[in-house]
Structure 1
């Protein structure tokens, strides 16, 4: 009697275990579950690519700044940091010395005037 009870219980436990495994696998293969796992993998891949791209961009910027400084030293650009005076007033002075320039002229901005 004890043997029969043991084997019956073992069979029931194996059946419950197998049923649970099969149901779990079937749930993983539903379209919703497959779509969710694909979306999660796509997000993970996107994050990995973004992290690598950011690291690459930082490396490029660092090397670019270092190379610009090397070139500036080689060309003597970094030797004198003082910039020349701005030349913005030259245009105004040239315009006033032009004989066609009339100081008190008023202009009409009517877009339909020529039509």
Structure 2
């Protein structure tokens, strides 16, 4: 008698457990639930992309500062960082200051002179 009662109770408990499990899964698969899950994943992905972009931007600024200090290109403190620095003037190479003059430092090559 106890055997039958035990197995009947075990079967009823398994049935309740299985029914509860199936009902939870069915609720998860409703269109509203799937839409909410997709929206949550999209928001989470957006946050991860934003964090990644901020990390990349911070790395770019750090590397730019390292390169600027290594090359001596640090901008003055009173200059707006969004503006481009003033163009640098090239130093004159002595006699080449006038491009129309021919000096020992400059020559013209005419491919027709060799023939």
TM over 0.5: yes
- CA drift of 1:69 comes to 2.3
| Unaligned stretches of 5+ residues in structure 1 | 82-115
1:61 maps to: 61
The alignment partner of 2:9 has SS state of helix
Distance 2:62 2:11 in 1: 67
Question: Cα offset for 1:24?
Answer: 0.5
Q: Work out the number of aligned pairs and report it.
A: 76
Q: Deviations over 1:35-71 (max 9, x none)?
A: 1111111111111111111010001011112212222
Q: What CA distance in whole angstroms lies between the structure 2 residues aligned with 1:49 and 1:28?
A: 27
Deviations 1:69-92 (A, max 9, x none): 22226xxx88xx7xxxxxxxxxxx
Q: Name the residue aligned to 1:11.
A: 11
Greater relative contact order (Cα 8 A, min sep 6): structure 1 or 2?
A: 2
Larger Rg: 1
After superposition, the CA RMSD in angstroms is: 1.9
Query: How does the TM-score come out when normalised to structure 1?
Result: 0.60
Q: Which residue of 2 aligns with 1:101?
A: none
Structure 2 residue ranges without an equivalent (≥5): 77-115
1:58 and 1:3 mapped to 2: Cα distance?
A: 70
Please state which structure has a larger fraction of its residues in helix. Answer: 1
